[in-house]
Structure 1
Amino acid sequence: MMTNAGNKVRFGIIGCGNVTEIKSGPGLQKADGSELVAVMRRNGELAEDYARRHGVGRWYTDAQALIDDPEVDVVYIATPPGSHLAYTLAAAKAGKPVYVEKPMALNEVECEQMIQACREAQVPLYVAYYRRGLPRFLKVKELLEAGAIGEVRFVSTYQTQTSPQLRNGEVPWRLQPEQSGGGLFFDLASHTLDVLDFLFGPITEAKGIAVNQEGRFPGVEDTVTGTYRFESGVQGSGTWCFSAYAHEDRNEIVGSKGKLVFSTFGHEPIRLETADGVQIFPFEAPAHIQQPLIQTMVNELRGTGSCASTGDSAMRTSRVMDELTRGFYTQD
């Protein structure tokens, strides 16, 4: 706990880019007991514009200046993963809790360094795997714990997307390993793997094959297949392809009495199939998709709740991604 229950938790954003426009920035302002007080972007005009449009009182072009702002209680790092480690170490050194975008860092080793720095500074470290706070995934967890499909046997994931496009003739940062950790697998599959950790606990064994089939972006994987086993004994498999003909997103959890079908990124209803028939559970997407998780983080910081997405849980996801792509990124 960092404040008493009567005070607002004041956030400062490092890197107020697209992810913060709707997904998170407004959520920091609208969550109960929360306030967004400062933003930083290297381009001063863009930083000032963001602050004006979002009603934020102060803006900076220097990250350390925001970290040192005495009115910033929590530092939200919304930059590409390549800078997460450095900014987290700086925030921890200043004695400030950290909320960092996903993936947590470029790899498991950097995650461990971030966790250690925050532990030594005695400040909490949260990661924006916001699906842990969304009602639809909480419902999946509730159905599993209630035995709706009996004993879980296995889970399978199938996700495809069309090939990404250049942006203004340049390769997007998500396809630059020095900034993202890898290809789109690291950016997108991380959400699914984190959800599975949330539902079943840690993955203790993982094996995968990662390849570049299309050749347009040769430095990164575009297709990954993998198998894994959870500490709970559940088996899992996944296929991700980011150079396919269409978008598809499906997770199936099969049990002794039925199965659950849901997507990671879509908002279509959860589907429960058993011998008794089919049940549908619809959910509306929140206006600001990170707000439910932000609320749990704010509650924990104010001493009235707990947040399910921490540095420790996020590091496990990075570890699994490293394992599934190890062969591709350790080629001679």
Structure 2
Amino acid sequence: MTDPTPQAPVAASRPVRWGILATGAIAHTFAEDLQLIPDDAELVAVGSRSVESARRFADRHGVARAHGTWHALAADPDVDVVYVATPHAAHHAAAVLCLDAGKAVLCEKPLTLNLAQAQDLVGMARKRDVFLMEAMWTYLNPAVLKMQELIADGAIGEVRSVHADFSIAVPYDPDHRLHDPGQGGGALLDLGFYVVSFAHLFLGVPSAVSAQAHLNPSGVDDNTGILLGYDSGAIAVLSCSLGTGTDQRASVNGTLGRIEIVRDFFRADGFVLHRKGREPEEFRLPTAQGNGYFREALEVARCLRAGATESPLVPLDGTLAVMATSDAARAVTGIRYPGEPDGN
């Protein structure tokens, strides 16, 4: 590995210069959202495994440079930060390239397939003093931040349980990324990461992890339930599925009340606060422009201008803790990916 110059703060006088690694659907969505914040973000380069794919992406989004390899993007001197938008299984390799080149990294969630890979990236970023953040946009959502504020102020008393579900109907197709173990498919790593992260946000690290999962013919989970236990006596009841569509509800339940998100908790625009002896209070927060990914870019820009190497809203220790819970759930359900040893 090389020994790059430590990350320097990005001047407030110019936008943060972005590169996007990979050219799939989520990469296009992120590129579109960057256009919503021209004072804080400029997309200057894209990297793909083929120059043709990179050039098509660049032409569509007006990007100046199209690199035909990931290495070339990582080496681009005009890129401040790279958004890693590959399928899950390639996150580790892509992020290593960028961190090794001294580039700040925003990596799509989950950060990696397992805890060992995540620890490797976090250790590398910290050793080199380079910014790294998992793209967990729920943690940056105004509604979720307001919920945290209310709960910290005692609005629902002591939190005793968290319930969350994220399920969508994706018919079985062995070539679809969500059903393909070679791409890190399965409900847990894609949808379940939201429910586990949500539980960690309000209850912290569990002392016990139980899980049940049904594995599809490809060997990845398509219907998973997780029960987290805490020394305080609190619990989290979580579910994720590729077999059925739901409202994706969530609730945080305390000794004096509860907060409910009745739909799409992972990108909520509001919630209802229920308190003993009071009428329900509905909170509505500003609806996100575009697809909401611009909030991640704004947080990255804020951190890079301050010279910070991680975000206090999406801390790396928190990312590792969620990954550890995911690994524990996988250990009891038998979910394995190519190249992983037994026990992840």
* Equivalent pair of 1:228/1:235 in contact (CA under 8 Å): yes
Question: CA 1:150/1:297 → structure 2, altered by over 3 Å: closer, same or farther?
Answer: same
Query: In 1, Cα distance between the equivalents of 2:15 and 2:99?
Result: 20
SS at match of 2:249: strand
Instruction: Give the structure 1 partner of residue 274 of structure 2.
Output: 273
SS at match of 2:306: coil
Runs of 4+ in 1 over 6 A off after TM superposition: none
Instruction: Give the structure 1 partner of residue 54 of structure 2.
Output: 47
Shift of 1:60: 1.2
Question: CA 1:288/1:204 → structure 2, altered by over 3 Å: closer, same or farther?
Answer: same
Letter in structure 2 aligned against 1:191: Y
Which of 314, 317, 323 is the matching residue for 2:322?
317
Instruction: Give the structure 2 partner of residue 64 of structure 1.
Output: 71
2:192 pairs with 1:189: yes
Query: In 2, Cα distance between the equivalents of 1:268 and 1:6?
Result: 32
Shift of 1:126: 0.8
Which of 294, 298, 319 is the matching residue for 1:295?
298
* Equivalent pair of 2:179/2:218 in contact (CA under 8 Å): no
Shift of 1:101: 0.6
Percent of matched pairs sharing the same residue: 28
Query: In 2, Cα distance between the equivalents of 1:57 and 1:254?
Result: 50
Query: In 2, Cα distance between the equivalents of 1:164 and 1:143?
Result: 39
2:189 pairs with 1:177: no
- Consecutive unaligned residues in structure 2, runs of 5 or more: 1-7, 337-341
Give the number of the structure with larger relative contact order, counting CA–CA contacts within 8 Å between residues 6 or more apart: 1
Query: In 1, Cα distance between the equivalents of 2:74 and 2:183?
Result: 22
Shift of 1:312: 2.9
* Equivalent pair of 1:4/1:303 in contact (CA under 8 Å): no
Query: In 2, Cα distance between the equivalents of 1:250 and 1:206?
Result: 21
SS at match of 2:106: strand
Letter in structure 1 aligned against 2:257: G
Shift of 1:173: 1.5
* Equivalent pair of 1:210/1:324 in contact (CA under 8 Å): no
What TM-score do the two structures reach when normalised by structure 1?
0.88
Question: CA 1:153/1:13 → structure 2, altered by over 3 Å: closer, same or farther?
Answer: same
Instruction: Give the structure 1 partner of residue 339 of structure 2.
Output: none
Letter in structure 2 aligned against 1:175: H
Letter in structure 2 aligned against 1:277: E
Q: Give aligned pairs, total.
A: 323
Query: In 2, Cα distance between the equivalents of 1:44 and 1:330?
Result: 35
Instruction: Give the structure 1 partner of residue 4 of structure 2.
Output: none
Query: In 2, Cα distance between the equivalents of 1:159 and 1:127?
Result: 19
CA deviation vs aligned residue, 1:210-231 (integer Å, no higher than 9, x gap): 223xx4x341112222221358
